[in-house]
Amino acid sequence: MRLFKLAVLISFIFSFQLFAQIENLKTHSQMNLDCKKCHICDTPTKANPCLVLCPRNKIESVRHSPEEGPDNIVLNEIKSEKDLYQPVHFTHKLHAEMSLMAGGCSTCHHFNPPGKIVKCITCHNTERSRADISVPDLKAAYHRQCMGCHKTWEEKTECESCHALNTTKKSKLVSKPSMENVHPKITIPTKIVYETNTEEGKLVTYFHNDHTSLFGLECTDCHTQESCANCHNQKPNFVSSKANEDEHARCSSCHDTENNCSKCHKNELTKPFDHFAKTGFALTGFHATNDCSNCHKVKNKFTGLKKDCIYCHKNDDGLFDHQITGVKLDETHSEFECTDCHAKNNYLAKPSCADCHDDYSFPNEVPGEKVK
């Protein structure tokens, strides 16, 4: 009898799993997908799904800081003809720091599934002869990534710039880079003042910290696909005074730069953003440390919101969710009006218990229980 029950139980579990798989397959089949877009074989299985490599424009990139990666990497997967060159000592941390002003990690790691750093050799074959000529071999991939930037920076690309000859074992780069071979620390400015050539409103005050700390912009939202030469005029440590050709292009994605010039162009320095002066809503308490995006849900669109607390803080019944204050009201107090404890709707002042209780005072007594 016990064996019979066990058999029935196993049969039920197997049937349930099979039913779940059928349901999943049914859902998958209804997605109107071409199997060949994801699977390269005719009969993919769970053990061997035959998944194709995703194209660049559909890759989900994961951001990493330069400190998370190695300081230096030795590139020695390719054997040069007649062994002319030594392996290349690649200063990974230095290049990772510089990439923050361009495409980030995806500049080189353009096939990079979440949570995993994929080596170049995973996709790029060391042999020049390959079945898919749309994917460059490893040597070509390395040179594609390196030569563009180095040509812009040095105006020429000699092999010895990266490679050390076997005869001398020296290159223009340090053969074994030291820990000091990193980019000097960039100090993030609080504000930048631009002097323009406009007849009216010659000064533009750009508050850098507001755009990054308050509005949540990433560096790459403004600094896109920039090279070292954009700041350094072809020579290390020499900062170019050449201004960007079109400053408005970066601002116009958020601001109306065609019909509202006076918003940025003024004859005197602009004061920092004041939420109360602009909106009449003072950012105090938790709101002072809250990110703008927590209230203004649409990125870069800071439209007006209602000042009533219930506009943002309401429970499933559409009433004010008092738990947001750290106190969950009990059944008695949940029936009260807000003004019964908060006189004149002043929520900055300490709530009063005096209208109902002679010897109660907040926060010694609370109208419910404290919650995190």
Least-confidence region, from 122-131, 141-150, 213-222: 213-222
Q: What is the pLDDT, as a whole number, of residue 237?
A: 44
User: What letter represents residue 184's amino acid?
Assistant: P
Least-confidence region, from 47-56, 81-90, 250-259: 47-56
CATH superfamily of 63-161: Cytochrome C3 (3.90.10.10)
Q: What is the pLDDT, as a whole number, of residue 26?
A: 44
Q: What is the mean pLDDT of residues 18-46?
A: 61
Residue 365's Cβ-count burial label (10 Å; 0-12, 13-18, 19+) is exposed
Mapping DSSP to helix (H, G, I), strand (E, B) and coil, where does residue 106 land?
helix
Residue 232's Cβ-count burial label (10 Å; 0-12, 13-18, 19+) is middle
Q: Is the pLDDT of residue 239 over 70?
A: no
Q: Which of the 8 DSSP states describes residue 345?
A: G
Q: Is the pLDDT of residue 366 over 70?
A: yes
Q: What is the mean pLDDT of residues 86-99?
A: 85
Q: What is the mean pLDDT of residues 244-254?
A: 70
Cis check: omega of the bond before 363, within 30 degrees of 0: yes
Distance CA 88, CA 165 (A): 10
Any idea where the domains of the chain sit in the sequence? 63-161, 192-273, 306-372
Task: For the chain, list the strands marked E by DSSP.
Answer: 73-75, 88-90, 192-195, 203-206, 265-266, 327-329, 368-370
Q: What is the mean pLDDT of residues 75-99?
A: 81
Confidence of residue 33 (pLDDT cuts 50, 70, 90): low
Edge-to-edge strand list for the sheet holding 192-195: 192-195, 203-206, 265-266
**Residues 302-305: contacts with CB under 8 Å, at least 24 apart:** 302/215, 304/279
- β-pair partners for 328: 369
With tokens 């563009």, the residue in question is: 148
Model pTM score: 0.47
